[in-house]
């Protein structure tokens, strides 16, 4: 029994289309996220049982669900698409957790909706497993993110370049409202729905915000924090289109996302990002670009005059300073410095430059700082030693430095090659052993555990993942 309270479905006509998930032939549970079920106040035994499986696969609607597909638009690689929307996801409804927080329960891969255009509305197993592992790692690390409550196989195939096993992910989010949701109404000049949407988002995510300008400021702050988290992990989202940027600040839509192994600031993995628009080091700039689109949508609600434009511009341009502050806090902590000074930026940047020159492994190098073995990551030991002398001098008086570093530098991240291996084993052999091992290991990214040592290691040359795919 789930107690739904579907505030988005209570919005007037024009925000969504009522549409039910399409049943699947033979659902089977891959994974159920028990800690998340408990955090949400859901009955884990029920979810793990036959009725739960029917819900998680879209075969049976639980009582109180009001399934909808949400409308949104979005700038994709800079070009505007006025009509996107949930084409392969159905929102079952919202629940309120025991602590009062409200969450969407969405089935991703639940079949066609009126927004599917030429797509089949389905997902194949690969992206479902990837999103499950990466989003749960992000949550374990404290990065704002949507979450994965469950993954099921459908017993059906989907056709992409080849025939692949189908799957459904149950995604949990503070909401699925995107920058592109605002763009949908702004592009149509629908000021009334724009106003209702802003009101809904304020009530839901920023209840003490006092109007559209304040809302914009909060989203800018939330995104500055989230992007700084990504940068500190070497995370590349891969498709930072405005329809893939949540107004709650949660990381959303894990498509061709990947983590940097050997440090290369302009790294790109996505097969569809030929220009490197969404490269690792472009992400803060792209966030500003996306937030500028949100600002344009909100100007009509801010008075719609020159003054509103000036105000919106000022708010968007507050991003760099907020972001730089979070960046320094995060990278300072990676060096063991809890209370940073402005000149610590140079210390961080010098290390990053050394790492870039040798493509040192991002995760291993930072973890090795705390172990005292970082020197081994470099060929040019003299250059590292010169930096390390200054670093040691800086942290010598800081008694909490080892502890600060240990909490800032994960030993394990979702390594691209391990994710690919887990997906290949599940796809080709129906073997989920590596998936479950990764899931367990990534929920505990800090502990130094010998049985997970292989999951910490960078890829061997023949294991390196060069390209990732959007993988719908």
Q: Within 31-50, which residues bind Mg ion (CB under 5 A)? A: none
Nearer to Mg ion by C-beta: 244 or 363?
A: 244
In the stretch 244-273, what mask flags binding to ligand AMP with x, by CB under 6 A? Answer: x--------x-x------------------
Q: What is the C-alpha radius of gyration for the chain, rounded to an integer number of angstroms?
A: 22
Q: Which of residues 136, 221, 253, 344 is near Mg ion by CB under 5 A? A: 253
Binding of residue 150 to ligand AMP (CB under 6 A): no
Buried b (16+ CB within 10 A) or exposed e, 115-149: bbeeebbbbbbbbbbbbbbbbbbbbbbebbbbbbb
- 78 contacts ligand AMP (rule: CB under 6 A): no
Q: Left if phi > 0, otherwise alpha if psi is -120 to 50, otherwise beta: which for 110?
A: alpha
Q: Are 128 and 166 in contact (CB under 8 A)?
A: no
Closest distance to ligand AMP from the beta carbon of 110 (Å) = 10
421, two tokens = 């291996």
Instruction: Tell me if 325 is assigned to a ligand binding site.
Output: no
> Judged by CB under 6 A, which of 94, 104, 136, 243 binds ligand AMP?
243
Q: Is 88 in the site for ligand AMP (CB under 6 A)?
A: yes
Options 86, 104, 243, 261, the catalytic residue = 243
Query: Got the DSSP string for 48-65?
Result: HSHHHHHHHTTSSPPTT-
445 part of the interface to ligand AMP, by CB under 6 A: no
Which one-letter DSSP state was computed for residue 97? Answer: -
Task: Say if residue 409 carries a ligand binding annotation.
Answer: no
Taking the least distance from each CB to Mg ion, the nearer of 243 and 361 is 243
Q: Which residues make beta-bridge pairs with 113?
A: none
State in angstroms the smallest separation of the CB of 87 from ligand AMP: 3
What one-character DSSP code corresponds to residue 88? S
The answer to whether 394 is annotated as binding is no
Q: Please give the full DSSP string across 323-381, using - where no structure is assigned.
A: HHHHHHHHHHHHTT-SS--TTHHHHHHHHHHHHHHHT-BHHHHHHHHHHT-GGGG-S-H
Q: Is 178 annotated as a binding residue?
A: yes
Q: Which is nearer to Mg ion, 244 or 340 (CB)?
A: 244
Using CB under 6 A, list all residues that contact ligand AMP: 84-88, 115-116, 119-122, 239, 243-244, 253, 255, 470, 472
Q: Which residues are annotated as a binding site?
A: 85, 87-88, 108, 120-121, 171, 178, 244, 253
Catalytic amino acids?
A: 243
């Amino acid at each position: 029994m789930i107690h739904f309270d579907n505030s988005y479905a209570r919005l007037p006509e024009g925000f969504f289309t009522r549409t039910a998930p399409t049943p699947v032939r033979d659902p089977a549970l891959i994974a159920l996220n028990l800690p998340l079920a408990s955090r949400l106040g859901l009955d884990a035994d029920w979810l793990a049982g036959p009725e739960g499986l029917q819900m998680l696969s879209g075969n049976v609607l639980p009582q109180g669900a009001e399934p909808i597909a949400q409308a949104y638009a979005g700038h994709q690689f800079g070009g505007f698409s006025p009509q996107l929307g949930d084409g392969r996801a159905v929102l079952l409804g919202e629940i309120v957790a025991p602590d009062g927080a409200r969450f969407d329960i969405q089935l991703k891969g639940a079949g066609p909706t009126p927004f599917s255009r030429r797509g089949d509305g389905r997902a194949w197993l690969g992206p479902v497993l990837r999103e499950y592992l990466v989003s749960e790692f992000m949550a374990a690390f404290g990065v704002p993110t949507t979450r994965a409550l469950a993954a099921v196989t459908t017993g059906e195939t989907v056709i992409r370049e080849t025939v692949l096993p189908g799957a459904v992910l149950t995604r949990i989010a503070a909401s699925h409202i995107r920058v592109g949701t605002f763009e949908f109404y702004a592009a149509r000049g629908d000021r009334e729905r724009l106003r209702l949407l802003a009101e809904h988002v304020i009530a839901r995510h920023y209840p003490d915000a006092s109007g559209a300008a304040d809302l914009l400021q909060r989203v800018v702050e939330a995104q500055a924090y989230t992007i700084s988290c990504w940068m500190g992990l070497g995370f590349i989202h891969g498709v930072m289109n405005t329809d893939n940027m949540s107004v709650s600040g949660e990381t959303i839509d894990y498509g061709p996302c990947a983590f940097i192994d050997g440090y290369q600031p302009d790294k790109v993995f996505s097969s569809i990002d030929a220009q490197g628009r969404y490269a690792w080091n472009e992400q803060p700039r792209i966030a500003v670009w996306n937030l500028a689109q949100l600002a344009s949508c909100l100007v009509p609600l801010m008075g719609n005059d020159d003054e509103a434009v000036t105000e919106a511009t000022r708010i968007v341009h507050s991003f760099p300073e907020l972001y730089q502050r979070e960046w320094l806090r995060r990278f300072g902590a990676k060096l063991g410095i809890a209370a940073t000074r402005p000149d610590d930026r140079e210390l961080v940047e010098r290390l990053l430059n050394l790492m870039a020159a040798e493509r040192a492994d991002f995760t291993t190098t930072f973890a090795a700082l705390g172990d005292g073995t970082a020197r081994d990551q470099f060929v040019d030991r003299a250059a590292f030693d010169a930096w390390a002398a200054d670093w040691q001098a800086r942290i010598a008086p800081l008694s909490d430095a080892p502890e600060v570093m240990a909490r800032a530098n994960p030993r394990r991240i979702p390594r691209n090659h391990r994710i690919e291996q887990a997906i290949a084993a599940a796809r080709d052999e129906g073997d989920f052993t590596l998936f479950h091992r990764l899931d367990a290991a990534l929920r505990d990214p800090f502990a130094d555990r010998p049985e997970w040592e292989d999951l910490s290691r960078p890829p061997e040359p023949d294991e390196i993942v060069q390209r990732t795919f959007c993988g719908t």
